[in-house]
Structure 1
Amino acid sequence: MSENKALNAVASRVEGLELIIERVFDAPRELVFSVFSDPVHLAAWWGPKGWETEVPELDFNEDGVWLYCMTCVDKNQGDFFGMKSCAKAVYHEIVVPEKIVYTDFFTDTEYNVLPEMPEMVITMEFIEEEGKTKIISRSKFSTAEAVKKVVDMGAVQGVSSQYERLDDYLSELQSK
């Protein structure tokens, strides 16, 4: 692990019905925010390591929809290899470059919402800190059981891996 990644590991906690994940990125807030609003950028880094993401739709506006599907392409991930994890997000509030609020739903590969899976309202804050950006992600669930289900599924580890990919991607963008 690079020194930067060690210093910028995710911090996570559960507060009531919210899963809160925080991490600092060595990049300006406008750049960090922009990679959450463009399908080409999202496809380049979204999802844990060893997964590829397709973004067939992204309407980055209030009431807009984002569809994405991640596929595990890493044979070393055992039973996960070949697995697909798809989702639909509906944006509620976008304040450039400060905040994104959306509801995220687990779906099948046709983007039909899976009612047995928890939905979450995610509020992402992008906070400028001396040229760096702190992201605070608050995922709110309807029940404590839903929070536990998503945590038990490995959400924190998945976001941590995804944020490592984002860190690498931001470094790549800034070196161009």
Structure 2
Amino acid sequence: MTSQAVKQRAAKAAVSTPTDREIRVERIFDAPRERLWRAFTDPALLAQWWGRGNRLVVERYELEKGGHWRFVEHADDGVHGFEGRFREVTPPERLAMTFEWDGMPGYVAIETTVLEDLGDGRTRLVATTLFHTTEERDGMLGAMGEGLDQSYAALDRLLAGGA
């Protein structure tokens, strides 16, 4: 697959705001649900795509209800830490967790990711993030577009390699 084809596929993520405090991302991946689940839950695989393809250190990853996760992304513009706690882990279909960026401590969102098996080797991802305020949601909307596309392009490359 060419990098252009990966970029085009990554750009197909549909981003919407179903409520004044939510962001919803929907995208279909050309991979079975179990493979996508592994890419979302295996720290070695997460490190290859989650941070927009930048070097990502998985400092902690306790994949269980109440478990703590922490990632540190090393990007051209600096080092960015992210962390949270798992609220739900239902393999291979659903993850819910809190999400907090070190750059804005105290602003905690709740992310829920659902993986739907489409029955033809593809999987629909629906990720919903709930914020405390509309302003927090809008701030994330302004910052996430390019990073989302870059992370999903890195995920496409990983999945094409047989993750």
Aligned to 2:28: 24
Whole-Å Cα distance in 2 between the matches of residues 57 and 66 of structure 1?
5
**Cα contact 1:21–1:156 (8 A) shared by 2:** no
Task: Give the deviation of 1:7 after TM superposition.
Answer: 4.6
Q: What corresponds to 1:77 in structure 2?
A: none
Report runs of 4+ in structure 1 exceeding 3 Å deviation: none
Q: Which amino acid aligns with 1:155?
A: M
Counterpart secondary structure, 1:131: coil
What amino acid is aligned across from residue 23 of structure 2 in structure 1? L
1:76 maps to none
Match for residue 86 of structure 1? 81
What is the match of residue 135 of structure 2? 145
Name the CA distance, whole Å, in 2 between partners of 1:10 and 1:160: 8
C-alpha distance in 2, partners of 1:5/1:36?
20
Q: Distance in 2 between matches of 1:160 and 1:19?
A: 15
**TM-score (ref. length: structure 2):** 0.90
Q: Which residue number corresponds to residue 168 of structure 1?
A: 157
Equivalent residue in structure 2 for 1:132, among 114, 122, 126: 122
Question: Separation in 2 of the partners of 1:169 and 1:61?
Answer: 24
- The counterpart of 2:61, out of the listed 58, 61, 84, is 58
Aligned length: 157
Give distance in 2, aligned partners of 1:30 and 1:7.
20
- Tell me the secondary structure at the aligned position of residue 84 of structure 1: strand
Per-residue deviation, 1:156: 2.6
Q: Which fold has the larger relative contact order, with Cα–Cα distance below 8 Å and residues 6 or more apart in sequence? A: 2
Corresponding letter in the other structure for 2:105: L
- Partners of 1:18 and 1:136 in 2: CA distance: 13
TM-score by length of 1: 0.83
Which residue number corresponds to residue 100 of structure 2?
105
2:44 alignment partner in structure 1: 40
Unaligned runs of at least 5 residues, structure 2: none
Where does structure 1 lack aligned partners over 5 or more consecutive residues? 74-79
The percent of aligned pairs where both chains have the same amino acid is 24
**Aligned-CA RMSD value:** 1.6
Q: Which residue of 1 aligns with 2:75?
A: 72
Q: Distance in 1 between matches of 2:132 and 2:32?
A: 34
For residues 43 and 131 of structure 1, what CA distance do their matches in structure 2 show?
24
